[in-house]
């Protein structure tokens, strides 16, 4: 942890409520599509595997997320807690986006997270698959930004 940074609660070891809270905070951050803001949740040397890309560190995270949202337009994400233990959380997620041609996709995936004692994510391993969908098949219909509290989650949507 950078000595100028404060801890990022909730902190491990996680109980169920803390794990759910950590997942929602991550979802909210990613729905900002702000790479610099999102990168602050990760250790300075955080290790990532995202699909077939492997990289380390906040600068690489910012570069990756910048490229991601140049390609994945009108991004909307829902994360759901899958399991937790100690300083680890597993989530499943889906997000919808379209490319510059207007083709919509729903991307499905799983992430394994490992946190340091200050609540920063030090490891993120993500497996993701993209499914082309019609715009009429979209399920995530909220304005850009945070998913409203009354919007259904993945299980409620049958995903």
Angle at 5 between CA 111 and CA 11, to 5 degrees: 45
**pLDDT computed for residue 2 by the predictor:** 55
Q: Using 50, 70 and 90 to split pLDDT, how confident is the model at 66?
A: very high
- Taking phi over 0 as left and psi of -120 to 50 as alpha, with beta for the rest, 149 belongs to alpha
Structure tokens at 136: 């009429």
Domains in the chain, CATH or no CATH each: 16-137 (3.10.450.50)
The DSSP bridge pattern shows strands 121-133 and 104-115 to be: antiparallel
> Mean per-residue pLDDT for 137-141?
97
Q: Using 50, 70 and 90 to split pLDDT, how confident is the model at 1?
A: low
Residue 92 has pLDDT above 90, yes or no: yes
Q: What percent of the chain has pLDDT over 70?
A: 97
């Amino acid at each position: 942890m950078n000595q100028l940074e404060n801890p990022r609660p909730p902190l491990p070891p996680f109980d169920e409520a803390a794990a759910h809270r950590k997942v929602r905070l991550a979802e909210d951050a990613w729905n900002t599509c702000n790479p610099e803001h999102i990168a602050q949740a990760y250790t300075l040397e955080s290790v990532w595997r995202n699909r077939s890309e492997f990289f380390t560190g906040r600068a690489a995270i910012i570069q990756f997320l910048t490229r991601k949202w140049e390609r994945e337009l009108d991004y909307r994400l829902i994360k759901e807690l899958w399991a937790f233990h100690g300083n680890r959380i597993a989530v499943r997620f889906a997000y919808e986006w379209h490319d510059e041609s207007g083709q919509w996709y729903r991307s499905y995936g799983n992430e394994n997270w490992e946190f340091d004692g200050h609540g920063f994510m030090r490891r993120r391993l993500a497996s993701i698959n993209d499914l082309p969908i019609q715009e009429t098949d979209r399920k995530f219909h909220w304005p850009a930004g945070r998913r409203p509290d009354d919007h259904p989650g993945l299980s409620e949507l049958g995903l």
